[in-house]
Structure 1
Amino acid sequence: MTPLWPWLVLAGLGAFHGLNPAMGWLFAVALGLYRQSRRVVLLSLVPIAFGHALAIAVVVYLVVGLGQAVDAHALRILTGCLLIGWGAFYLVYGHRHRVRIGLRTGYAGLGVWSFLMASAHGAGLMLIPALMPLQEHAQHAEHMHAMPMAGSIWIAALAVAVHTLAMLAVTGVVAVVVYDFVGLGFLRRGWVNLDLIWAAALIAMGLLLLLT
């Protein structure tokens, strides 16, 4: 049977991304306030989720391809180095490279912004450790049933879907609560630096892959 914990990790990372204002809900709320429409807040979630899913899918399917050409140990080392390097880069330079799109942008621009933000955060990279055991299980099933790549592709698609749905659910709840009840003023009074936590998590996961 497919292990459960990777799916929980994929969903948990999606929830964390949904909680992070830099990944979508802040822009959705700001756009809704600018246009004075709750409907705009909800519609903004669609391109935000689509852009995020596309950025995740690019990385996930690259991993599927590499998994067919590189052995698991080499992929683990490569992934660990990438996570550490990306986390260190984001820790030092991430705050200097913000993607700027005006509040008058359309939904297409919002989707592009979401794609670029997820890519800049290295969101897809963090999914690789959870994807590895799922890919190993899929490859074993392929070997048993002579279906090369089929299982891996479906597992990858499901991983993207689980992660994106968790991200979308949390983003939607936070955006609606902030727009309808809380307002953006609480961000000035204090907010946990989730970007710092994310960079530290990237580095920690990279070290874990290299040391275990």
Structure 2
Amino acid sequence: MNAWPQVWPQVWPQWVAWWPWLTIAALGLFHGLNPAMGWLFAVALGLHRGQRRVVLWSLVPIALGHAVAVALAVAVALWLGGVLPYAAFARVAGAVLLGWAIWHVVRGHRMRPRVGMRAGMLGLACWSFLMAGMHGAGLMLVPALMPICATPGATLLDPSGALGPAMIALGVHTVAMLAAVCAVALVVYDRVGVAFLRTGWVNLDWIWTAALGVCGVALLLR
């Protein structure tokens, strides 16, 4: 028991260094679990064509569409970080996240793009891109990217220096999202079936909306 206070100062810096990356990966896993992000469409397309490999191939455009939407949000964040002071950037990011959460509560569930369950690969990519953008998937990465991309002591983000870490973060997020989508899609296609969604699935949109709001408030109060 007495050894823990001596160990904690050594563990704490490691946690500080790793928490943004763990958060980025966790957000990717969360997005992958959400049926609205694409795995439900991949399963439907595989069932329609009666081929398991169609499920796997469908994951490619889903991941690409998601990655492009997140990359656009990250690019805008890097640009803003290069023209706004760090504290002001945090306030703007917090206000946007909180505003996005409020928009989801008020209007988000009414603004769904319509894509048929038998959409082709291009349709899946477009759906994934639109849903990632509407959910604010890229916006949610901003709080985790700030400590990764910021130079200690700097008042502004350096877009050139932050580009490398941001691209790695995008890759980590996309791989985690793709892994989750692949795992859920194959389990549903091979074992479970889609009927369980009627009674056995949590509304992830409400959890996501709450997370957006909490992160927005945290940035505004920091």
TM tier, smaller: over 0.9
Report whether the alignment pairs 1:56 with 2:66: no
The residue identity in structure 1 corresponding to 2:134 is A
Contact 1:48 1:111 in 2 (8 A): yes
Please name the residue that 2:169 is paired with. Answer: 159
Shift of 1:139: 9.0
Whole-Å separation in 2 of the counterparts to 1:116 and 1:105: 14
Which residue, out of 200, 210, 213, partners 1:200? Answer: 210
The residue identity in structure 2 corresponding to 1:166 is A
- The within-5 A match list for 1:57-76 is 57-76=71-90
| TM-score in terms of structure 1 length | 0.92
SS at match of 1:3: helix
CA RMSD of aligned residues (A): 1.8
Report whether the alignment pairs 1:86 with 2:100: yes
Whole-Å separation in 1 of the counterparts to 2:179 and 2:50: 22
**Pair 1:201–1:61, CA change in 2 (3 A):** same
Report whether the alignment pairs 1:31 with 2:45: yes
SS at match of 1:124: helix
Q: Higher Cα Rg: structure 1 or 2?
A: 2
Which residue, out of 167, 176, 181, partners 2:186? Answer: 176
Please name the residue that 1:98 is paired with. Answer: 112
Whole-Å separation in 2 of the counterparts to 1:68 and 1:95: 34
The residue identity in structure 2 corresponding to 1:54 is V
Shift of 1:108: 1.2
Shift of 1:37: 1.3
Please name the residue that 2:11 is paired with. Answer: none
| TM-score in terms of structure 2 length | 0.88
Shift of 1:61: 1.0
Q: Which runs of 5+ in 1 are unaligned?
A: none
**Pair 1:138–1:66, CA change in 2 (3 A):** farther
Contact 1:139 1:151 in 2 (8 A): no
**Pair 1:138–1:152, CA change in 2 (3 A):** farther
Contact 1:139 1:152 in 2 (8 A): no
Contact 2:81 2:159 in 1 (8 A): no
Shift of 1:34: 1.4
Contact 2:41 2:118 in 1 (8 A): no
Shift of 1:150: 3.2
Report whether the alignment pairs 1:122 with 2:132: no
**Sequence identity, in percent?**
56
Which residue, out of 28, 32, 47, partners 1:18? Answer: 32
Please name the residue that 2:23 is paired with. Answer: 9
Shift of 1:3: 2.0
Whole-Å separation in 2 of the counterparts to 1:182 and 1:114: 23
Shift of 1:99: 1.5
SS at match of 2:31: helix
SS at match of 1:10: helix
Shift of 1:105: 2.3
Once the two structures are superposed, what CA deviation does each residue of 1:146-201 show, in whole Å capped at 9, x if it has no partner? Answer: xx643211111111100000000011000000000000011112311100110011
Whole-Å separation in 1 of the counterparts to 2:102 and 2:66: 22
Aligned residues: 206
Whole-Å separation in 2 of the counterparts to 1:138 and 1:48: 36
